[in-house]
Structure 1
């Protein structure tokens, strides 16, 4: 009877695994299929990072005369009295970040409030450079960089979480790579992308990563604060459900077989 019980349990486990894998096909696990079609119709597109409210920017202004440019930027820990001599004891300090407010503006030293919402970093640099001409004897070098470009990846990936990158141009595939890629139990043709625009409105977009023309999608490049959700396959959900309840069912099965064994013994 013990031999029969082992065979019975083995059959149940085998059936469960076969049922889970039968719903997952090789083709559904491939990215960017039919690439030859994409290569024939693809249109080149360039992506530029755009500044949005709640972004944090680091802005560096430099000239041939450090004392002349010192009033236009400060470093963390720098007192106002040090602004005219910003090299003293501050070489290793980090630049103070500028928070873009809900109106899309930053409060820049001397210049006051500057509207930067929707600008690329290059456009922001040009704006500051132009406005500084009235205060300097030469055209300054201005560098603007995003300090909090982050995104989140949730669901059926190897390492779900929130990630920060210094790269201001990132595709959805690169974002998934940061999270360790999708697992074999992920739905690749129904990936959800949640995005918030400059007005705070949130929308969810569906991406089919099995199609090669995903590279032509306006959502192929992610933006700061995007959330990518990868759905699990039905097989994975059933597998998790089975695993969660396996101990209960095995206990119940053992009880049934024990009772059956006892009944057979008593009827002999």
Structure 2
């Protein structure tokens, strides 16, 4: 799972016994060499679809980590890109890796549940961060995203289909979530990271209640499951367009 440049077992153990913020500060220098970093294939597929749904002016990468999603935004946004994360260590790596081309990119340390921005973005993206939010936090999180989007703006993120019950992937995720729940019951501070808690049905409902119109786009690069459903979707949640002034 990890490349030779990735963290050692000892480093992972120390990170897992830390808070989420401190754990990612420690992991940041080696994060891009772990399976937790969104694969380039997913980033490329999302970027390809977003280029067809634009154009966009200003973009926000929510929970940006080391900046992979900001790189996608730099390809589809014309004016500016901001990456926001609460880990200072991840932001330090993102600053060092930022590409020299495209619109200006800046990095802001903040909690996604208390975004310090006006409604000035046309597009918000997020990659692989939702396991760090408990289901009860989604309404507030989605309300925060809505608060920084201009009318007609979009919130986009990829969502992988859950593994079938009884499959090796199913038992792997169930085992991981169980270990994390036991860890959090016995150790403080908690480390919230639950891969099975972010379900499409719940997400659609909460986005709709937050005022978004939800669209689902299959990412054909990843094929379909035996039942015909996409293996990976892009969830595109849009705000209503501003009313047109009468002529």
**What TM-score bracket applies, with the shorter chain setting the length?**
under 0.3
Q: Which has the higher helix share?
A: 2
Higher relative contact order (CA 8 A, sep 6+): 1
TM-score, length-scaled by structure 1 = 0.21
Higher Cα Rg, which structure: 1
TM-score, length-scaled by structure 2 = 0.23
